Structure 1
């Protein structure tokens, strides 16, 4: 296999991880630094000290206090357990099932499942606003993609494509697709559209215009099928796809994944188990 510098870049090794975040105190200091990189500012008066007008729940939380208002709200896992979970799910080359996460972290399966789905929910929320611009390929591409959007749609019909296009494509993109009938509506939305006729069968997957999209989708299918074996597609498919897209779209800066995801976990609203299990597959 040809060596690709991006694939072989150094990530955050386990020894480096434990040296930097191996204790509760180190984990808490890291989160504090990522949350306030320029130093603490009071949300009430913008001062360096705490304002007396703040409610107790608005004050700087200690490592033993709750995480009200963040995705960590309600979790019983301490910081020294959360940080390894975030690291494992961002540093893995493929995917990691909740059962394997449980074996790494200890504890029970339900706690591992909730943590994994909260992390995937944050990944989905971060990817939900991504819009592709410039040269865009849908089901067909000529070069290795820089960014991807992977999510389920309700149907391959005109209404679903119109909704997805408005949400995911910047204006006046140049779009390349296969011959699916609904893709003809891309021109109505103001996009330059080229249809690639590659035929069918195995030869179509190896054609010049289809190679890289099939590499991405093939890797995705192997990762999901090999690790999870089966997922509840009607409820959770969007999260699992967002997990893959989140890591793919940030693959150029592996060492930044942990602080970026941790900060995102603090920025996102709470998501209790009842909400996690009632998830919708679709962006709208």
Structure 2
């Protein structure tokens, strides 16, 4: 009995190592192959660890100067609505905290239900400390940041290369590109209802990137202090902020 438990524990620690040390993420299929466990067991492990990452990073807030942008995951369905109204696009907020030298310090990429002012206010109340100096594009929903008690500057960029070249959005644009490229290259299919967990995986690694070895023990400690996540809860959508 002890040997079986020991093997299971060793498998979990190896799984934690693989999830935390792969910069571009690791798919459930790769976990299944490298750990020698069933695909369904690898799927449960992956989602449980991502849930821990999500809950851990949701417990603290960005401060100082923060670059913010709206983003979507997914493409347009044939015959469906186009642009932001597409039924196949999952919205998320991208936020990057920078220091006085405009270097990126922390990031929060969080799935949201929509881009409405009330939703963004609720997101900001959870994700940003009071008094944060936030900069975003001119999307009207970002006025919710002000409603949450933060300083907010909206800059009309017009989209396209103009927004990409604006140094006030350098790091949020860079991180968006990196994360989308990594997700596309690692996962064959990402269910939009679990986008929040997948984004949290990238948040967790980036925010602890200066001490990669300790990430293993830190995630292990966080896991034992996180409420159990049975299969029925793992299957539910994990959108973090919905309109009140």
What's the TM-score once normalised by structure 2's chain length? 0.80
- In the alignment, does 2:177 pair up with 1:218? yes
2:110 corresponds to 1:180 = no
Q: What count of residue pairs does the alignment treat as equivalent?
A: 213
Does the aligned pair in 1 maintain the 2:197–2:238 contact within 8 Å?
A: no
Separation in 2, partners of 1:200, 1:131: 28
- The equivalent position to 2:29 in structure 1, one of 80, 88, 99, is 99
Shift of 1:281: 1.6
Question: Take 2:148 and 2:131, find their aligned partners in 1: how far apart are those partners?
Answer: 8
| Greater per-residue strand proportion | 2
| Match 2:155 to one of 196, 201, 206 | 196
The 5-angstrom pairing of residues 119-134 of structure 1 reads 119-134=49-64
Superposed CA deviations along residues 101-140 of structure 1, whole A, max 9, x for unmatched, are: 1110112101111111111111111011121122222128
The reply to whether residue 81 of structure 1 matches residue 39 of structure 2 is no
Q: Does 1:240 align with 2:170?
A: no
Counterpart of 1:249 in structure 2 is: 207
Tell me the distance in 2 between the aligned counterparts of 1:116 and 1:187: 36
TM-score by length of 1: 0.69
Tell me, in whole angstroms, the C-alpha distance in 2 between the residues paired with 1:160 and 1:193: 16
The equivalent residue for 2:117 is 158
Deviation at 1:64? 5.4
Shift of 1:206: 2.4
Q: Give, in whole Å, the separation in 2 of the partners of 1:196 and 1:144.
A: 20
Select between 179-188 and 96-105 the one with higher mean Cα deviation.
179-188
Structure 1 residue runs of 4 or more that deviate by more than 4 Å after TM superposition? 62-66
> Counting helix residues as a fraction of each chain, which structure ranks higher?
2
Change in Cα spacing, 1:185 to 1:276, as seen in structure 2 (3 Å) is closer
Contact map agreement 1:130 1:149 (CA 8 A) in 2: no
